[in-house]
């Protein structure tokens, strides 16, 4: 197990930490918000990769002490539903392979934390990780990388053959080359497995008027046919459009498929109303279980392909001083932009709109999720999927028959919030004093300070601390209910901060 993937030319200093196992949804701003709570972050380098590969990053602090504290406090922290790894950046040359262990037959409930705690008694651990499947479920083995060979030997001596939750575990030095050879051999064995022989074929895409005998004549060129199922529509002699042919042997079935499948077997009809035939279809007839599995995979693939049409976004409420390059800079953080256009709102000339097309639907989804939290000069951006004329007409028709057509759909949910889903304002009874509330609020505002850096000058502040102090002083005058909402939802906090800045600007 490599401690770092593809470290490139990153300078490995003692004040830099490696952050691994990141979700593709993770942004540099997410990492900044987290690690700036430890200390001053001087640099973040994020490397995004598509799943199943994990993204990773390097975060550089202003001093070594902050880097060490980040490792201690944020290793195995959950970000975007994934437990991240925060490790020291070590020189790959100094990493001893003999200090890298593989631990087999682990309990299914074992976590990264459990693995770390179990082996940390033998020495300083650089990394401890349970191997997982693509869906995130744990495998029955993991890796422990010690900083010293001596610690690894000690762990093998005391743990190999030991029991964890009634499971006898194996602990040994991880031989990377040996494991690669085993995996390559397994892949080759899988590749050379012969395809199961079959004789029954499924057939479609032939003329409706085709006779059973005519189809049999076409197929019998490739070998003897033991049976031909040619079903008719109810009460007629018209074909249902498909058939099943069972050849005498596998070779005949293969020959028919190779020669006929995907070909124009029938002459096209003439005339304005002439039927057009799809290429002839003949393939192995699948059993019910095989068909269900194939349909499932096909549906999943079509769903993924369908998502690609959701790559186009429509962005509104853009201040008129924002240019195309500004929008590109903001939204390229979420992925690769294929095209971008910007225009002036026809109704409100003080606002602009933009169309953005991403390379993938995942990137577009992320832009909607994160972009709707973005404020520019106290203007909250509105980011949605672009809808074509047909979709807009359909929505308009649906809204015209709605009994609540005067109320936007987003505000007219048919569901009523139950009493147990509302805010529990009594939570404040557990807070000892207003001072504690303000301290927590100060911390939250401090974390958001850099988001509003372009407005510091309006407030007459130069540092995050000054910004947090001034904004907290304004927000602390709100009611307890409002403060709880701000502490619970970052979106509400951002809105309140923006309105506070605006109020302060009007006063001055």
What is the torsion angle, in degrees rounded to the nearest 10, for the CA atoms of residue 297, residue 303, residue 304 and residue 307? Answer: 180
> Is pLDDT of 216 > 70?
yes
Contacts of residue 425, Cβ cutoff 8 Å, sequence gap at least 6: 480, 481, 484
Q: Is 450 within a domain?
A: yes
Q: Are residues 431 and 496 in the same domain?
A: yes
Q: Is 295 within a domain?
A: no
> Is pLDDT of 419 > 50?
no
Q: What's the pLDDT at 248?
A: 94
Pure H helices in 372-431: 389-400
CA distances from 148 to 98, 122, 321, 494 (A): 9, 10, 58, 47
Q: Are residues 85 and 167 in the same domain?
A: yes
How far is 372 from 428, CA to CA, in rounded Å? Answer: 30
Supply 331's token pair: 């939204």
Q: Is 374 within a domain?
A: yes
Identify the weakest region by mean pLDDT among 319-328, 336-345, 419-428, 477-486: 419-428
Q: Are residues 94 and 164 in the same domain?
A: yes
Q: Is 436 within a domain?
A: yes
Q: What's the pLDDT at 481?
A: 77
Identify the weakest region by mean pLDDT among 374-388, 423-437, 473-487: 423-437
Q: Where a domain ends, among 148, 179, 210?
A: 179
Q: Are residues 158 and 249 in the same domain?
A: no
What is the torsion angle, in degrees rounded to the nearest 10, for the CA atoms of residue 287, residue 289, residue 292 and residue 295? Answer: -60
Number of other residues whose CB lies within 10 A of the CB of residue 179: 12
Q: Is 47 within a domain?
A: yes
Q: Are residues 316 and 369 in the same domain?
A: yes
Is residue 404 very low, low, confident or very high in pLDDT (cuts 50, 70, 90)?
very low
Residue showing tokens 């599995």 = 293
SS3 content of the chain, % helix, strand, coil (to 5): 45, 20, 35
Strand blocks (E) in 41-132: 41-47, 55-61, 78-79, 82-83, 85-88, 100-104, 125-132
**Ramachandran angles phi, psi of 101, nearest 5°:** -110, 150
Q: What's the pLDDT at 135?
A: 64
Q: What's the pLDDT at 9?
A: 39
Q: Is 438 within a domain?
A: yes
Residue 272, classified by CB atoms within 10 Å of its CB into exposed (0-12), middle (13-18) or buried (19+), is exposed
Residue showing tokens 């007839």 = 285
| Bridge pairing between strands 78-79 and 82-83 | antiparallel
Q: Are residues 104 and 250 in the same domain?
A: no
Strand blocks (E) in 114-195: 125-132, 138-146, 163-164, 167-168, 170-173
Residue 438, Cα to own-chain centre: how many angstroms? Answer: 36
Element counts in the chain: helices (H) and strands (E): 16, 22
Q: Where a domain ends, among 125, 148, 179?
A: 179
Q: Are residues 219 and 251 in the same domain?
A: yes
Q: Where a domain ends, among 392, 412, 435?
A: 392
Contact 281, 332 (CB under 8 A): no
**pLDDT by residue (tens digit) across 65-124?**
999 889 888 888 888 888 888 888 765 444 566 788 999 999 888 888 888 888 988 988
Supply 410's token pair: 């987003």
Q: Are residues 125 and 264 in the same domain?
A: no
Q: Are residues 464 and 369 in the same domain?
A: no
**pLDDT by residue (tens digit) across 289-333?**
666 555 445 444 544 444 445 788 889 989 888 888 888 878 887
Q: Is 194 within a domain?
A: no
Q: Are residues 50 and 162 in the same domain?
A: yes
DSSP 342-361: EEE-SS-TTEEEEEEEESSH
Identify the weakest region by mean pLDDT among 268-277, 329-338, 350-359: 268-277
Q: Are residues 449 and 380 in the same domain?
A: no
Average pLDDT of the residues in 228-239: 86
Q: What's the pLDDT at 214?
A: 93
Domain span at residue 375 reads 312-392
**pLDDT by residue (tens digit) across 134-185?**
667 788 889 998 888 898 999 998 888 888 888 889 999 887 676 666 666 6
Q: Is 330 within a domain?
A: yes
Number of domains in the chain: 4
Which CATH number does the domain housing residue 384 bear? 3.30.70.330
Residue showing tokens 């201690």 = 72
How far is 181 from 157, CA to CA, in rounded Å? Answer: 26
Q: Are residues 380 and 447 in the same domain?
A: no
């Amino acid at each position: 197990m490599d401690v770092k993937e593809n470290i490139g030319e990153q300078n490995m200093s003692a004040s830099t930490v490696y952050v691994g196992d990141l979700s593709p949804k993770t942004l540099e701003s997410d990492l900044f918000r987290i690690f700036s709570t430890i200390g001053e972050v001087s640099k973040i380098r994020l490397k995004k990769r598509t799943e199943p590969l994990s993204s990773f990053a390097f975060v550089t602090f202003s001093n070594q002490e902050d880097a060490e504290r980040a490792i201690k406090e944020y290793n195995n922290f959950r970000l975007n539903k994934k437990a991240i790894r925060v490790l020291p950046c070590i020189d790959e040359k100094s990493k001893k392979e003999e200090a890298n262990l593989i631990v087999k037959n682990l309990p299914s409930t074992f976590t990264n934390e459990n693995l770390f705690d179990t082996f940390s008694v033998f020495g300083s651990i650089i990394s401890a990780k349970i191997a997982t499947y693509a869906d995130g479920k744990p495998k029955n083995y993991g890796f422990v990388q010690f900083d010293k060979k001596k610690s690894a030997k000690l762990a093998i001596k005391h743990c190999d053959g030991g029991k964890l939750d009634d499971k006898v575990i194996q602990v040994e030095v991880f031989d990377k080359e040996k494991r690669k050879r085993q995996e390559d051999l397994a892949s080759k064995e899988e590749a050379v497995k012969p395809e199961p022989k079959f004789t029954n074929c499924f057939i479609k895409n032939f003329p409706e008027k085709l006779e059973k005998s005519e189809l049999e004549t076409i197929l019998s060129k490739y070998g003897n046919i033991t049976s031909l199922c040619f079903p008719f529509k109810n009460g007629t002699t018209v074909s249902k459009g498909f058939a099943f042919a069972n050849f005498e042997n596998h070779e005949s079935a293969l020959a028919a498929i190779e020669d006929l499948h995907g070909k124009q077997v029938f002459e096209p009809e003439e005339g304005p109303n002439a039927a057009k035939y799809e290429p002839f279809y003949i393939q192995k007839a699948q059993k019910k279980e095989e068909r269900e599995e194939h349909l499932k995979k096909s549906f999943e693939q079509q769903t993924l392909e369908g998502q690609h049409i959701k790559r186009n976004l429509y962005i509104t409420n853009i201040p008129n001083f924002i240019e195309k390059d500004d929008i590109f800079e903001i939204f390229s953080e979420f992925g690769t932009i294929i095209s971008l256009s910007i225009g002036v709102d026809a109704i409100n000339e003080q606002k602009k709109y933009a169309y953005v097309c991403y390379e993938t639907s995942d990137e577009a989804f992320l832009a909607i999720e994160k972009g709707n939290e973005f404020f520019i000069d106290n203007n909250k951006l509105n980011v949605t999927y672009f809808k074509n004329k047909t979709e807009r007409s359909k929505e308009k028709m649906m809204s015209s028959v709605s009994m609540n057509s005067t109320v936007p759909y987003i505000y007219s949910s048919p569901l009523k919030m139950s009493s147990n889903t509302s805010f529990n304002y009594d939570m404040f009874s557990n807070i000892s004093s207003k001072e504690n509330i303000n301290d927590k609020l100060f911390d939250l505002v401090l974390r958001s300070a850099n988001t509003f850096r372009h407005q510091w000058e309006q407030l007459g502040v130069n540092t995050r601390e000054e910004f947090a102090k001034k904004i907290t002083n304004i927000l602390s005058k709100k009611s307890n209910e409002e403060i709880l909402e701000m502490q619970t939802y970052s979106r509400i906090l951002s809105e309140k901060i923006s309105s506070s800045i605006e109020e302060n600007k009007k006063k001055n």
